[in-house]
Amino acid sequence: MIIDKETLSQYESRYRAQLMNSLAGVKQAVLIGTRSADGFNNLAIFNSLIHIGANPPLWGVIFRPDTVKRDTLNNILETGEYTLNFMSTADFEKVHQTSAKYPKEVSEFDACGFTASFQPDFQAPFVQEAVVKVAMKLEQKIDISINNTILIIGSIEHLEIDEERIGTDGFVSPEDLNTLACVGLDAYYETRLISRLSYTKTDQWPTKIG
């Protein structure tokens, strides 16, 4: 079966979105915590986390066009601070529920059964139940003109993780953390490591290192 660009454009919008999202594969599910300038907490699921670089440590998140109310995006642009929270697979239903369109005055922390926690000198809320908590500072907003989406790039101010989950070489396994992954808009996954392989060289085949 060959699906050309014209055929894709003719698909019903929800069907096309599911097809494109699911084919992009399994991604880390994160809850983004923000607080508006007037003091309202917000929490929302995203699956578009992108590693930008390690020195300085930068991650990006893709936002859909801001043609409708986008509390998470607005709060980040207003305050410059947000949190990334990696959740356990056991919380997948509550994580999914954060995608509901609650009014700004209703905190998804309360509505979905999570606990907001705060750290000194940082106003965005963390999810107390998260297995990894990351404090982010807005560094750059990039408007993607081809489809009016927005790339938000932030620097990692600090992160909270169980030290025992970090390998001697710095590797962190999602399987060991039991963090939630997702595909598309509504499918949730556990991850399983097949193997880690050695650094590639042209004169030898990689070997298993884990």
In order of their start, the domains of the chain are 26-189 (2.30.110.10)
Give me 140's structure tokens: 């750059």
> Who has greater pLDDT, 113 or 9?
113
User: What is the spatial distance between Cα 49 and Cα 182, in angstroms, rounded to a whole number?
Assistant: 12
The CA-atom distances, in angstroms, between 39 and each of 36, 69, 114, 128, 199 are 5, 17, 18, 19, 48
Could you please report the per-residue DSSP string of 113-150?
Answer: T--EEEETTEEEEEETT-SEEEEEEEEEEEEETTTTEE
Instruction: Name the 3-class secondary structure at 188.
Output: strand
Mean pLDDT of 137-159: 96
Give me 208's structure tokens: 């298993």
For residue 70, what pLDDT is reported? 81
pLDDT in tens, 46-93: 999 999 999 999 999 999 886 667 899 999 999 999 999 999 999 999
CB contact set of 144 (below 8 Å; sequence gap of 6+): 150, 151
User: What is the spatial distance between Cα 100 and Cα 44, in angstroms, rounded to a whole number?
Assistant: 9
User: What is the spatial distance between Cα 112 and Cα 114, in angstroms, rounded to a whole number?
Assistant: 6
- Which run of H or E residues covers position 166? none
Instruction: Name the 3-class secondary structure at 152.
Output: strand
pTM: 0.91
Length of the chain measured in residues: 210
Q: Please report which confidence band the pLDDT of residue 32 belongs to, taking 50, 70 and 90 as the band edges.
A: very high
User: What is the spatial distance between Cα 40 and Cα 105, in angstroms, rounded to a whole number?
Assistant: 6
